[in-house]
């Protein structure tokens, strides 16, 4: 936060020739106006002079670039005096503030060219609370020699350019009975002994950010709550234990150490630290127990964002801490599928609610690995796995995260969302899946309850295929723009320069299209079934007839037996089965011999079949009424279907 501010502030860097060598030394990011009640930017000229501007609370004599060397007299009682951006070199008289009333709470002397300030200068301002001396060229010795009223709580000496604890400043103590916040950011301090603040008993906030600190000697600082040592050159984690294992910083809650060169932590005595910021350091190995509850009993928030070196291992139980709520491992290029991250690394983090692991590598993480790593983190409310090459999610991937409210999956390689993937997540409200490779979104992806609960769903920047299947989504998007519009466009990948919102397709055509398709399929199926049935019936028509007669045969045989028993005589002696092509031979050769010479009675179908009766019945009756059957085998017989039937019938 602080750093991005500094960068922003650089943009409006006011040209000038003041003593700060670092170009980043500009108006501090500390926001006075939000902290000082009733301070408004003054817009009007003061009634009795035009050197300053006045408002109810503020006398603003800033920005005269050296033209103003004293505080002009202005009628009225003010709370804030702004004397910044003048080019005052020295304040050598204790009368300097004689023209202002003693109601003054804030004095801003930022960015003058002060090299000297008389110790008693603030003596007449008996209600002073904030003093801004930043952006000058004062030394520690000068600053700490000033007699701050016992009302002053905030002292800002950042960005002094030369301010460092040099040889002449050695042994200088900062003593004040009232200062709680001391801002020494953006100086050039290389070496500091915190014993210098021992005589400032209620100091609770100490900013030493953006110095050149490499040699920090800690000393018992009993009331310090907030220590910011970010952007320095520290190699070692500050010493926090006394020789008897008591804490040197017993009340410390916030410890900020980002942008240093720290690579390990061994022995710590920080019973109250809740927020530990270690991003941009040189940690390569995070051993078991490094951030355990035993070492940091009160830890809630731990940042290990973007190490300046490749992380080689996070060992098992590295974060064994049931009270840890917030863990940030963003931008470490950690391969979660490899042994770099032990699969038990997060075991014990049962209270974790925010897990930020974006910009790492989940390319080869199977659902088993994922579940082993994170499956037990059932208290999660925020999970950020953006830009981490996540290629696939399964419907059970997030099933255990019933409290998850924010899920970030932006910038991954997802091509598909399984139906109901988020249905188990009873709290999901904000979902970011923008900039993936999702082509289509099924109507069943989001269950009704999930869809109702979502307050933010970002699916922009995906190569959507605009066709009938996406129309439902387009409707949803248009009916609830506040859920979807977050700057990422919904572009149709298959139609150049067309956004989903502008994509038009006749809904009737889509409906018709799908109806017609199912109708055609149904009709085709019915026709095919009929055809198949017909083929089967045709192919087996003789066999089927035979089956039919078989079914009736029992009764026929009974009848036959009965007839035989009654001494029934057959109408024919022989039933002759022959092919139609052989009729000539049968009539001219066979008949004369068998009937004429031998006196047998033959049944031949040309002569004896009853006209009008079905041929099958004729065959059946003839066969039953004949004592014997004669088959006239010939090539024609083999080919004739009726003969085959007769043969089969006789065999049965
Ligand atoms: C200060 O003096 C310089 C030179 O005399 C002048 O150009 C500038 O406008 C003055 N600035 C103000 C704020 O009066
Ligand atoms: C007080 O203001 C007057 C005019 O505004 C100025 O002449 C005088 O020098 C100021 N006194 C001090 C101590 O700055
Ligand atoms: C004093 O004025 C400058 C602009 O000239 C402004 O940036 C700063 O916030 C003001 N200080 C206070 C305490 O209001
Ligand atoms: C600073 O304080 C320490 C400890 O209270 C004391 O020993 C030392 O003499 C003081 N130094 C100065 C210059 O007052
Ligand atoms: C670090 O500071 C301590 C005391 O402030 C001093 O004794 C020591 O020599 C310093 N070490 C280095 C390497 O400057
Ligand atoms: C302090 O704690 C460390 C680590 O827990 C231990 O090795 C050391 O013996 C302790 N020292 C004392 C004096 O108790
Ligand atoms: C995890 O921490 C708990 C509580 O501090 C402790 O009892 C347990 O032994 C630790 N587990 C491992 C595997 O270190
Ligand atoms: C869900 O949690 C249970 C119990 O902790 C565990 O056995 C299971 O593997 C987890 N499922 C997933 C998908 O992580």
Q: Is the dihedral of CA 388, 394, 397, 403 positive or negative?
A: positive
Q: Which of 250-259, 424-433, 462-471, 613-622 has the lowest mean pLDDT?
A: 613-622
- Which ligand approaches the C-alpha of residue 347 most closely? 7
CA distance 345 to 276: 18
* Of 291 and 75, more confident: 291
CA 343 to centroid of ligand 8, rounded, Å: 14
* Residues whose CB falls within 8 Å of the CB of residue 551, separated by 6 or more in sequence, listed in order: none
CA 142 to centroid of ligand 3, rounded, Å: 24
Looking at ligand 4, which residue's alpha carbon is closest to its atom 9? 171
% pLDDT > 90, the chain? 43
Q: Which helix (H) or strand (E) holds 602?
A: strand 602-603
Tell me, using a 6 A CB cutoff, whether residue 53 lines ligand 3. no
* Of 344 and 636, more confident: 344
Relative to the CA of 49, which ligand 2 atom is closest?
A: 5
Q: Is the dihedral of CA 48, 53, 58, 59 positive or negative?
A: negative
Tell me, using a 6 A CB cutoff, whether residue 351 lines ligand 8. no
Superfamily of domain 567-651: Toll/interleukin-1 receptor homology (TIR) domain (3.40.50.10140)
The confidence band for 3, taking pLDDT boundaries of 50, 70 and 90, is very low
Q: Which helix (H) or strand (E) holds 460?
A: none
Tell me, using a 6 A CB cutoff, whether residue 245 lines ligand 6. yes
The confidence band for 18, taking pLDDT boundaries of 50, 70 and 90, is very low
Average pLDDT on 575-586 reads 85
CA 173 to centroid of ligand 4, rounded, Å: 6
* 54-141 and 567-651, same CATH topology: no
* Of 21 and 80, more confident: 80
Q: Which of 33-42, 153-162, 350-359, 554-563 has the lowest mean pLDDT?
A: 33-42
List, in sequence order, every beta strand (DSSP E) within 145-286: 154-156, 181-183, 191-193, 205-207, 215-217, 226-228, 254-256, 275-277, 285-286
CB 50 within 8 A of CB 74: no
pLDDT for residue 12 is more than 60: no
Would you state the pLDDT for residue 29?
43
Would you state the pLDDT for residue 313?
95
Q: Which of 43-52, 490-499, 529-538 has the lowest mean pLDDT?
A: 43-52
pLDDT for residue 23 is more than 80: no
Tell me, using a 6 A CB cutoff, whether residue 199 lines ligand 4. yes
pLDDT for residue 31 is more than 60: no
Compute the residue count for the chain: 652
Would you state the pLDDT for residue 303?
97
Looking at ligand 5, which residue's alpha carbon is closest to its atom 14? 215
- As to burial, measured by CB atoms within 10 angstroms (0-12 exposed, 13-18 middle, 19+ buried), residue 108 is buried
Tell me, using a 6 A CB cutoff, whether residue 375 lines ligand 8. yes
Pairing relationship of beta strands 181-183 and 130-132 according to DSSP bridges: unpaired
Would you state the pLDDT for residue 580?
83
CB 439 within 8 A of CB 494: no
pLDDT tens for each residue of 533-562: 988 888 877 677 767 766 765 666 666 666
CA distance 164 to 68: 29
CB 76 within 8 A of CB 54: yes
Would you state the pLDDT for residue 14?
28
Tell me, using a 6 A CB cutoff, whether residue 399 lines ligand 8. yes
**What end-to-end distance do the CA atoms of the chain give, in Å?**
99
CA 210 to centroid of ligand 1, rounded, Å: 33
Would you state the pLDDT for residue 562?
65
Kindly state the tokens that stand for 613. Answer: 């009766």
pLDDT for residue 298 is more than 90: yes
- Which ligand approaches the C-alpha of residue 378 most closely? 8
Looking at ligand 8, which residue's alpha carbon is closest to its atom 11? 375
Beta-bridged to residue 191, according to DSSP, are: 215
Would you state the pLDDT for residue 249?
96
* Of 643 and 217, more confident: 217
CA 82 to centroid of ligand 3, rounded, Å: 6
pLDDT for residue 34 is more than 50: no
Kindly state the tokens that stand for 270. Answer: 């920080």
pLDDT for residue 320 is more than 90: yes
Most confident of 100-104, 351-355, 585-589: 351-355
CA distance 559 to 283: 104
CA distance 605 to 626: 13
Would you state the pLDDT for residue 326?
97
CA 451 to centroid of ligand 5, rounded, Å: 62
Would you state the pLDDT for residue 32?
35
CA 70 to centroid of ligand 1, rounded, Å: 15
Q: Which of 119-128, 356-365, 560-569 has the lowest mean pLDDT?
A: 560-569
- Which ligand approaches the C-alpha of residue 68 most closely? 1
Would you state the pLDDT for residue 11?
28
The average confidence (pLDDT) of the chain is: 84
Looking at ligand 3, which residue's alpha carbon is closest to its atom 9? 32
- CA angle 89-90-91, nearest 5°? 140
Average pLDDT on 85-113 reads 90
Relative to the CA of 288, which ligand 7 atom is closest?
A: 14
pTM of the model: 0.75
Would you state the pLDDT for residue 504?
83
Angle between helices 541-565 and 507-539 (to 10 degrees): 40
CATH number assigned to the domain covering 54-141: 3.80.10.10
| Residue showing tokens 């940042």 | 303
CA distance 561 to 575: 19
CA distance 527 to 648: 33
Cα 1 to Cα 156, 212, 428, 539, 614: the distances in Å are: 19, 20, 28, 85, 102
* Of 157 and 48, more confident: 157
Q: Which of 100-104, 301-305, 404-408, 617-621 has the lowest mean pLDDT?
A: 617-621
Q: Which residues have CB under 6 Å of ligand 7?
A: 292-294, 317, 320, 348
Would you state the pLDDT for residue 523?
86
Relative to the CA of 66, which ligand 1 atom is closest?
A: 1
Q: Domain extents for the chain?
A: 54-141, 567-651
Relative to the CA of 36, which ligand 3 atom is closest?
A: 13
The confidence band for 24, taking pLDDT boundaries of 50, 70 and 90, is very low
The confidence band for 224, taking pLDDT boundaries of 50, 70 and 90, is very high
Q: Which helix (H) or strand (E) holds 471?
A: helix 471-479
pLDDT for residue 252 is more than 90: yes
pLDDT for residue 9 is more than 60: no
The confidence band for 164, taking pLDDT boundaries of 50, 70 and 90, is low
pLDDT tens for each residue of 383-415: 999 999 999 998 888 888 999 999 999 999 999
* Of 355 and 52, more confident: 355
Looking at ligand 1, which residue's alpha carbon is closest to its atom 13? 64
């Amino acid at each position: 936060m602080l750093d991005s501010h500094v960068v922003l502030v650089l943009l409006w860097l006011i040209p000038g020739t003041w003593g700060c060598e670092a170009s980043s030394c500009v108006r501090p990011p500390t926001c006075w106006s939000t902290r000082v009640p009733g301070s408004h930017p003054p817009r009007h000229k003061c009634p009795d002079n035009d050197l300053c501007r006045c408002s109810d609370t503020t006398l603003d004599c800033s920005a005269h670039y050296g033209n103003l060397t004293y505080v002009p007299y202005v009628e009225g009682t003010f709370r804030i005096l702004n004397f910044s951006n003048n080019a005052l070199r020295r304040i050598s008289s204790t009368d300097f503030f004689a023209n202002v009333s003693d109601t003054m709470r804030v004095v801003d002397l930022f960015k003058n060219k002060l090299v000297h300030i008389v110790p008693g200068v603030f003596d007449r301002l008996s209600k002073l609370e904030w003093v801004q001396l930043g952006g000058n060229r004062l030394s520690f010795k000068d600053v700490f020699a000033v007699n701050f009223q016992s009302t002053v709580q905030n002292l800002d000496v950042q960005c002094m350019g030369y301010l460092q604890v040099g040889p002449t400043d050695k042994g200088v103590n900062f003593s004040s009975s009232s200062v709680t916040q001391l801002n020494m950011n953006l100086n050039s301090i290389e070496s500091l002994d915190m014993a210098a603040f021992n005589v400032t008993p209620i100091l609770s906030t100490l900013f030493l950010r953006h110095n050149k600190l490499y040699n920090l000697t800690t000393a018992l600082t009993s009331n310090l709550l907030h220590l910011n040592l970010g952007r320095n050159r520290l190699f070692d984690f500050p010493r926090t234990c006394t020789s008897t294992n008591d804490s040197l910083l017993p009340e410390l809650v916030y410890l900020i150490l980002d942008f240093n060169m720290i690579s390990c932590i061994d022995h710590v005595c920080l019973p109250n630290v809740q927020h530990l910021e270690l991003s941009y350091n040189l940690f390569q190995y995070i051993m078991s127990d490094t951030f355990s509850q035993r070492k940091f009993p009160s830890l809630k928030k731990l940042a290990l964002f973007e190490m300046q070196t490749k992380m080689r291992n996070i060992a098992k139980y590295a974060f064994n801490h049931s009270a840890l709520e917030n863990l940030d491992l963003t931008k470490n290029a950690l391969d979660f599928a490899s042994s770099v991250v032990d699969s038990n690394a997060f075991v014990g983090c049962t209270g974790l609610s925010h897990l930020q692991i974006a910009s790492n590598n989940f390319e080869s993480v199977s659902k088993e690995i994922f579940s082993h790593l994170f499956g037990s983190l059932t208290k999660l409310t925020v999970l950020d796995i953006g830009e981490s090459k996540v290629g696939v999610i399964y419907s059970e991937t997030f099933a255990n995260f019933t409290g998850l409210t924010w899920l970030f999956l932006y910038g991954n390689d997802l091509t598909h969302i399984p139906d109901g993937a988020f249905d188990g997540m009873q709290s999901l409200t904000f979902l970011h899946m923008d900039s993936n490779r999702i082509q289509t979104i099924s109507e069943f992806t989001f269950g009704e309850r999930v869809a109702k609960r979502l307050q933010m769903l970002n699916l922009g920047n995906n190569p959507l295929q605009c066709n009938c299947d996406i129309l439902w989504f387009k409707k949803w998007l248009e009916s609830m723009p506040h859920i979807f519009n977050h700057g990422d466009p919904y572009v149709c990948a298959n139609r150049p320069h067309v956004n989903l919102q502008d994509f038009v397709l006749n809904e009737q055509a889509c409906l018709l299209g799908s109806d017609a398709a199912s109708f055609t399929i149904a009709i085709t199926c019915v026709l095919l079934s009929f055809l198949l049935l017909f083929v089967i019936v045709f192919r087996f028509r003789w066999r089927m007839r035979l089956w039919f007669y078989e079914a009736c045969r029992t009764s026929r045989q009974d009848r036959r037996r009965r007839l035989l028993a009654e001494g029934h005589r057959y109408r024919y002696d022989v039933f002759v089965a022959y092919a139609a092509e052989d009729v000539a031979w049968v009539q001219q050769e066979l008949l004369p011999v068998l009937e004429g010479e031998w006196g047998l009675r033959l049944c031949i179908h040309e002569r004896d079949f009853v006209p009008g009766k079905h041929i099958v019945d004729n065959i059946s009756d003839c066969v039953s009424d004949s004592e014997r059957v004669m088959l006239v085998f010939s090539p024609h017989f083999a080919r004739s279907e009726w003969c085959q039937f007769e043969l089969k019938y006789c065999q049965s």
